[in-house]
Amino acid sequence: MVKQFRDKVSESENHNSDVSGDYWVSRTKPEAGSDVVLDMFLKGLSRNAAILDLGAGTGLYTRKMRERGYFDVTPADPFSKAKGVLKLGAEKLVDVFGDNNFDAVFCNVVFPWMSKPAESLHSVSQVLEKGGKFFVTVFRENDEIEKPNGWQPYTLNSFAKFLDDNDIPLKIEEAYRAPAISDPDEPQKKQPHFYRHECDRTPLLIMSCKKTATPEKNLDKNGKLNISEVKISSLSREQVMGM
């Protein structure tokens, strides 16, 4: 693995910053929700796994992984000001790391802001080892919520179609439908300030994908996801918030 970027992430906590890719840090109370997401990502990963924390923000998840004994973690975020976080966008990953250098990539609510999503995911797939894990959270399309400016919400089918249409060698294996963080039954003005942002009212779709040797279709000939090949679950708001 490339080691020159393995600096210790700054110990400073900035839970209210709007750094790109730091949604769970900036929008939830400190530590809330993050352990639930991390549990799903780390499931089945060896502690020797080489991990890329893509869109690391302040480095919260990198620190949490290291606290759990996953020490080979590289945090990257083109907009982060945190010490030890590599200033690098997703589309440039392969230029820096080369092919097949990571066992897993953690990409939590970063993909919706990528300006070159297809190019970025091709780069992600290149730096992943064959069989490696790509863990991604996106905004889930919801008819009750107006499409946020600049964000591309997805259904499970439309994200699978995006992968297939762009010949990205990532196969969806698990998917979790998660509700919005903001409590729909609580008047917004009464909720903590970190639940009031527009994206907090948008449901989430969390997926675990495997890198394949060559692009494999996620959708069948009728344009439908083969649900026998994908484990699909739903999360409650309490699970998402780590309550």
* Tens of pLDDT, residues 86-126: 999 999 999 999 999 999 999 988 888 788 999 999 999 99
Report which of residues 69 and 239 the model is more confident about: 69
Compute the average pLDDT of residues 64-73.
95
Report which of residues 17 and 54 the model is more confident about: 54
- Domains, the chain, ranges and CATH? 23-240 (3.40.50.150)
Look at residue 218 and tell me whether its pLDDT is greater than 90.
yes
The three-state DSSP-derived secondary structure of the chain is CCCCCCCCCCCCCCCCCCCCCCHHHHHCCCCCCHHHHHHHHHCCCCCCCCEEEECCCCCHHHHHHHHCCCCCEEEECCCCCCCCCECCCHHHHHHHHCCCCEEEEEEECCHHHCCCHHHHHHHHHHHEEEEEEEEEEEEECCCCCCCCCCCCCECHHHHHHHHHHCCCCEEEEEEEEECCCCCCCCCHHHCCHHHCCHHHHCCEEEEEEEECCCCCCCECCCCCECCCCCEEEECCHHHHCCC
Give the pLDDT of residue 4: 43
Supply the pTM of this predicted model.
0.80
